[in-house]
């Protein structure tokens, strides 16, 4: 602040009342101080200086939510250095300066250009400064002031956590607290009554009430019964302005549920229950059920049942079905119609959890009488025990007694009983039973290691009456006998490194253990030793650790797997059973190639003899590929040769073999291998089978008796019939015959032969020159007949 100058500050603020807006200007006078420095001496003679204030003002106020057409005048700033000549410029900075608040740089009037909401921001901090208009040089130090937004009642109360859900025990006293509902109002609680809330109940009377100031909901009626009505919908209102007219309000819903208490005793629907049970029922059979009803829920509705009195308490028992809450009456022991026909018991139902507040309402229990009638029945035999367990030694000889079962007919007739073992329970037929007395014996020696327990059934059937039968379970245990020798627990190979540090100076290479198929007793153990044939070996040694294990050590410094790669070490194992058993097991030790860290690289000998870079698998694959390629080549050549060779060997000079087409859709005139006509002019071929290349006969059959060689002058018809018969009876021939189709109609035909075979020996005046124009496929035929005719004519 500058000394020697006074500052004037004009403060304007606006107030809203009943919808009108008025501006009030408030002027703050500065305190006149001397232009000169006043010297005040203290107790110690110190001179104090006091500076004059340049700004004097109070807080500015602006009403929120103002919606007038013009900007709101917040206030006016004025400095006493302002002479009114326009040389002073007022500058405003801070929150909202230039956007919400603007200042007239000449007059210092501050206006609010936007509608303000106190709930968004309650006050703004601004800074004002007076500077020279031409040089912008500060004439006064900057001063800070606050513009507060004045609240109006523009926010209704809100229940932020609604709707509410509450529970209250039934039969609660009047005034019992149920739940507290809370509404919030965004208006200023320090200004007027805008945020002063009052609670009231709109729905839910006369059952509930609410405290106006706190919002606590309480019960308003006594003895509200859940069994009559369980749920209530309550509506609560919160109103501001202290609940006066013109205040804003909000509502919320509260769903109140009455929880159950034990206020109802159990009750049987009827006082007497009649039940019946047959005398052939076994203990545990259900006789009947009854249920006492309790209107309460959950733990309060639980009912316990018990017998109070009656002559049936010794033969009957009662329990509860936890799912249905019913009393279940069962047989405790068997009943006999001939002995007693009726039993009576009294059943009591009570609540295990009783509320002491309602004890005065009466006893929480009820009773009913149950009458049980015994019905007569033809009962099957009854075994003396529900099940039997016997023991028999392993390997006991056939016919060894195992035990005896006993059953009897409980009817008055007391019929005799016969016993048998159902085969489906003893598939191996290891046991037999004496039908008259029930003695069980073995039929063969039993092996415990194969089957330690035999669970069979024995059936007892009464002789006479309705042939009732009963079955009982018989469990037979086979007692162990030491009849199995111990053996290695695992049969894994032991791998050692040749010339490695694994063998020396740490010679331990393996710890072996044993198992025994017999039962292992508590003090049973195994003893290990080298077999006699390996006792003097210089490669390995064995140490019995006396804990049913043994350690194998290396006694030499190195191995050469090229010399020997596998060592077999026989080890003898003995048990201490009765009688003792022993066995010799072989431990396989393989010598492997290792690196400097005794990491095994290879345990095979092949890498030393095979060429570098190729493994055994690769060589086998290469050889297999070569063999396959050779087989393909040989097969291809064989097929080509077979394709070129004719099916039947014949004389190539016979020109008539080219006339071959007999209703055959073959390769045309150029096909000379479909059929062979040479046999017609070679009767000597009838003396035996012609060599054929389309099949490979397994057997060659001689001519059938009665067939004679055909002379050269044989008739063609007879010759064909002979050949057809031979072909039909030849089991080595394929299902077709190449000598079966001939254009021969037989001797003596009126029409004569249509075949061209005889045209060679007859005169013909036909001209075959036209065949030359039929194309290359008929060229051979044209040359054959055309040339023939030319020669004949010449």
Nearest Cα to 265, choosing from 338, 199, 350? Answer: 350
For strand 249-259 and strand 164-169, is the pairing parallel, antiparallel, or unpaired?
parallel
Name the average pLDDT for the chain: 77
Euclidean distance between CA atoms 299 and 7, whole angstroms: 84
Strand, coil or helix: 685: helix
Alpha helices per DSSP H over 237-386: none
Q: Is the pLDDT of residue 43 over 60?
A: no
**pLDDT tens-digit readout, 723-766:** 888 877 877 666 554 555 555 555 555 555 555 544 444 445 56
For strand 453-462 and strand 417-420, is the pairing parallel, antiparallel, or unpaired?
antiparallel
Euclidean distance between CA atoms 531 and 493, whole angstroms: 18
**What's the pLDDT at 188?**
76
**pLDDT tens-digit readout, 65-77:** 777 777 888 888 8
Nearest Cα to 340, choosing from 318, 319, 314? Answer: 314
**Highest-pLDDT range among 148-162, 418-432, 455-469, 711-725:** 418-432
Between 167 and 676, the higher pLDDT residue: 167
Q: What percent of the chain has pLDDT over 90?
A: 28
Find the range with the poorest average confidence among 22-26, 169-173, 439-443, 604-608: 22-26
Q: How many CB atoms lie within 10 A of CB 652?
A: 10
**What's the pLDDT at 24?**
30
CB 372 within 8 A of CB 330: no
Q: How many CB atoms lie within 10 A of CB 117?
A: 15
- Taking residues 452-468, what's their average pLDDT? 87
**What's the pLDDT at 594?**
86
CB 402 within 8 A of CB 454: no
Euclidean distance between CA atoms 165 and 234, whole angstroms: 10
Q: Is the pLDDT of residue 329 over 90?
A: yes
Euclidean distance between CA atoms 400 and 560, whole angstroms: 60
Q: Which residues of 80-103 are buried (b: 16+ CB within 10 A; e: fewer)?
A: bbbeeeeebbbbbebebbeebbbb
Q: Is the pLDDT of residue 402 over 50?
A: yes
Euclidean distance between CA atoms 59 and 92, whole angstroms: 15
Q: Return all residues near 638 (Cβ < 8 A) that are at least 6 apart.
A: none
**pLDDT tens-digit readout, 127-157:** 888 888 888 888 888 888 888 887 777 789 9
For strand 526-530 and strand 494-497, is the pairing parallel, antiparallel, or unpaired?
unpaired
CA distances from 678 to 439, 655, 657, 671, 739 (A): 95, 9, 6, 15, 10
**Highest-pLDDT range among 261-270, 577-586, 673-682:** 261-270
**Highest-pLDDT range among 41-45, 59-63, 420-424, 693-697:** 420-424
- Taking residues 111-119, what's their average pLDDT? 83
Euclidean distance between CA atoms 607 and 604, whole angstroms: 7
DSSP 267: B
CB 716 within 8 A of CB 757: no
**What's the pLDDT at 258?**
93
Strand, coil or helix: 446: coil
Between 714 and 483, the higher pLDDT residue: 483
CB 543 within 8 A of CB 555: no
Between 86 and 657, the higher pLDDT residue: 86
Between 24 and 631, the higher pLDDT residue: 631
Find the range with the poorest average confidence among 132-141, 252-261, 324-333, 433-442: 132-141
- Taking residues 394-398, what's their average pLDDT? 91
Euclidean distance between CA atoms 764 and 60, whole angstroms: 148
Between 380 and 551, the higher pLDDT residue: 551
CB 503 within 8 A of CB 517: no
Euclidean distance between CA atoms 342 and 273, whole angstroms: 13
Find the range with the poorest average confidence among 102-111, 442-451, 769-778: 769-778
Find the range with the poorest average confidence among 149-153, 506-510, 550-554, 602-606: 602-606
Q: What percent of the chain has pLDDT over 70?
A: 75
- pTM, full prediction: 0.38
**What's the pLDDT at 387?**
94
Between 748 and 640, the higher pLDDT residue: 640
Q: Is the pLDDT of residue 513 over 80?
A: yes
**What's the pLDDT at 700?**
45
Nearest Cα to 588, choosing from 493, 495, 652? Answer: 493
- Taking residues 531-544, what's their average pLDDT? 86
Between 117 and 478, the higher pLDDT residue: 478
Q: How many CB atoms lie within 10 A of CB 30?
A: 15
**pLDDT tens-digit readout, 552-565:** 988 888 788 888 88
CA distances from 257 to 82, 165, 228 (A): 75, 8, 12
Q: Is the pLDDT of residue 28 over 60?
A: no
Q: Is the pLDDT of residue 291 over 90?
A: yes
Q: Is the pLDDT of residue 320 over 90?
A: yes
Euclidean distance between CA atoms 297 and 262, whole angstroms: 8
CB 318 within 8 A of CB 307: yes
Between 701 and 113, the higher pLDDT residue: 113
- Taking residues 116-123, what's their average pLDDT? 82
**What's the pLDDT at 565?**
86
- Taking residues 49-62, what's their average pLDDT? 55
Query: How far, rounded to the nearest angstrom, does the alpha carbon of residue 191 sit from its chain's CA centroid?
Result: 65
Find the range with the poorest average confidence among 37-41, 128-132, 489-493: 37-41
First and final C-alpha spacing in the chain: 160
Q: Is the pLDDT of residue 514 over 70?
A: yes
Q: Is the pLDDT of residue 648 over 60?
A: no
Find the range with the poorest average confidence among 30-39, 278-287, 609-618, 717-726: 30-39
DSSP labels, 160-214: TT-SEEEEEETTPPTT-EEEE---B--S-TTSTTTT--EEEEEESTTTEEE-TTT
Euclidean distance between CA atoms 19 and 21, whole angstroms: 7
Strand, coil or helix: 156: coil
Find the range with the poorest average confidence among 39-43, 308-312, 402-406: 39-43
**What's the pLDDT at 745?**
52
**What's the pLDDT at 704?**
45
Q: Which residues of 457-484 are buried (b: 16+ CB within 10 A; e: fewer)?
A: ebbbbbeeeeebbbebebebebebbbeb
Euclidean distance between CA atoms 642 and 637, whole angstroms: 9
C-alpha torsion 277→278→279→281, nearest 10: -90
CB 132 within 8 A of CB 88: yes
Find the range with the poorest average confidence among 303-307, 402-406, 661-665: 661-665
Between 290 and 734, the higher pLDDT residue: 290
Strand, coil or helix: 456: strand
Nearest Cα to 416, choosing from 372, 389, 385, 381? Answer: 381
**What's the pLDDT at 40?**
32
Strand, coil or helix: 573: strand
CB 66 within 8 A of CB 115: yes
Strand, coil or helix: 792: helix
**What's the pLDDT at 738?**
54
Q: Is the pLDDT of residue 318 over 80?
A: yes
Half-sphere exposure of 47 (CA within 13 A, CB side): 4
Using pLDDT thresholds of 50, 70 and 90, give the confidence band for residue 47.
Answer: very low
Radius of gyration of the chain from its Cα atoms, rounded to whole angstroms = 63
Euclidean distance between CA atoms 781 and 771, whole angstroms: 7
Euclidean distance between CA atoms 695 and 703, whole angstroms: 19
CA distances from 96 to 63, 100, 103, 563, 610 (A): 16, 5, 12, 101, 93
DSSP labels, 627-662: HHHHHHHHHHHHHHHHHHS-SB---TT-GGGG---S
CA distances from 467 to 378, 413, 458 (A): 10, 13, 16
């Amino acid at each position: 602040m500058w000394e020697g100058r006074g500052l004037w500050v004009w403060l304007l603020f606006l107030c809203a009342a009943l919808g009108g807006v008025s501006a009030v200007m408030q002027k703050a006078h500065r305190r006149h101080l001397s232009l000169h420095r006043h010297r005040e001496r203290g107790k110690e003679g110190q001179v104090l200086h006091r500076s004059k204030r340049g700004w004097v003002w109070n807080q500015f106020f602006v009403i929120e939510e103002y919606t007038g057409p013009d900007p709101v005048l917040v206030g006016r700033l004025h400095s006493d250095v302002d002479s009114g000549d326009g040389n002073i410029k007022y500058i405003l900075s801070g929150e909202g300066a230039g956007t919400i608040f603007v200042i007239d740089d000449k007059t210092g009037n501050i206006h609010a250009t936007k509608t303000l909401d106190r709930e968004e921001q309650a006050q703004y901090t601004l800074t004002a400064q007076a500077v020279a208009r031409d040089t912008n040089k500060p004439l006064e130090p900057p001063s800070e002031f606050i513009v507060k937004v004045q609240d109006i009642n523009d926010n209704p109360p809100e229940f932020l956590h609604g709707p509410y859900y509450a529970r209250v025990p039934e039969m609660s006293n009047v005034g019992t607290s149920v739940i507290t509902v809370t509404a919030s109002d965004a208006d200023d609680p320090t200004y007027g009554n805008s945020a002063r809330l009052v609670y009231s109940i709109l729905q839910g009377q006369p059952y509930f009430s609410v405290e106006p100031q706190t919002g606590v909901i309480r019960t308003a009626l006594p003895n509200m019964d859940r069994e009559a009505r369980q749920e209530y919908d309550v509506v609560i209102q919160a109103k501001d302005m202290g609940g006066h007219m013109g205040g804003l309000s909000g509502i919320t819903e509260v769903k109140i549920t009455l929880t159950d208490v034990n206020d109802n005793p159990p009750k049987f629907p009827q006082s007497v229950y009649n039940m019946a049970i047959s005398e052939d029922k076994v203990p545990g059979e259900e006789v009947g059920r009854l249920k006492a009803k309790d209107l309460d829920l959950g733990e309060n509705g639980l009912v316990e049942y018990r017998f109070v009195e009656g002559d049936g308490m010794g033969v009957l028992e009662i329990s509860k079905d936890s799912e249905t809450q019913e009393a279940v009456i069962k047989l405790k022991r068997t009943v006999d119609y001939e002995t007693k026909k009726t039993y009576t018991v009294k059943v009591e139902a009570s609540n295990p959890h009783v509320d002491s507040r309602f004890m005065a309402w009466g006893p929480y229990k009820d009773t009913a009488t149950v009458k049980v009638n015994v019905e007569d029945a033809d009962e099957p035999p009854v075994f003396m025990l529900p099940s039997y367990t016997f023991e028999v030694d392993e390997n006991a000889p056939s016919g060894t007694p195992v035990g005896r079962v006993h059953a009897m007919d409980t009817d008055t007739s007391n019929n005799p009983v016969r016993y048998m073992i159902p085969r489906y329970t003893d598939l191996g037929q290891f046991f037999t039973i004496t039908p008259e007395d029930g003695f069980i014996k073995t039929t063969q020696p039993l092996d415990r290691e194969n089957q330690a327990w035999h669970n069979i059934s024995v059936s007892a059937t009464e002789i006479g009456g309705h042939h009732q039968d009963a079955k009982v379970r018989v469990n037979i245990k086979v007692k162990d006998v030491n009849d199995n020798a111990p053996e290695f627990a695992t049969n894994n190979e032991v791998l050692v490194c040749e010339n490695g540090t694994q063998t020396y100076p740490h010679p331990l290479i393996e710890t072996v253990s044993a198992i025994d198929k017999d039962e292992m007793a508590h003090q049973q153990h195994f003893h290990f030793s080298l077999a006699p044939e390996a006792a003097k070996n210089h490669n390995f040694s064995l140490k019995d650790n006396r804990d049913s294990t043994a350690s194998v050590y290396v006694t030499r410094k190195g191995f050469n797997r090229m010399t020997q790669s596998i060592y077999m070490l026989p080890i003898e194992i003995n048990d201490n059973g009765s009688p003792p058993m022993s066995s010799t097991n072989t431990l396989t030790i393989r010598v492997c190639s290792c690196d400097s860290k005794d990491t095994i690289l290879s345990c095979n000998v092949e890498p030393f003899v095979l060429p570098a870079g190729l493994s055994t698998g690769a060589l086998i694959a290469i050889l297999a590929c070569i063999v396959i390629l050779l087989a393909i080549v040989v097969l291809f050549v064989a097929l080509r040769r077979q394709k070129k060779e004719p099916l039947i060997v014949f004389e190539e000079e016979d020109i008539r073999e080219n006339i071959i087409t007999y209703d055959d859709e073959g390769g045309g005139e150029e096909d000379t291998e479909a059929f062979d006509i040479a046999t017609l002019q070679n009767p000597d071929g009838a003396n035996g089978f012609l060599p054929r290349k389309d099949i490979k006969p397994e057997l060659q059959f001689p001519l059938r008796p009665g067939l004679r060689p055909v002379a050269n002058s044989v008739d063609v018809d007879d010759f064909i019939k002979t050949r057809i018969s031979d072909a039909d009876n030849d089991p080595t021939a394929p299902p077709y015959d190449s000598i079966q189709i001939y254009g021969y109609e037989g001797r003596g035909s009126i029409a004569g032969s249509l075949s061209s075979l005889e045209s060679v020996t007859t005169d013909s005046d036909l001209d075959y020159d036209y065949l030359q124009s039929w194309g290359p496929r008929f060229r051979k035929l044209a040359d054959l007949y055309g040339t023939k005719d030319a020669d004949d004519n010449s």
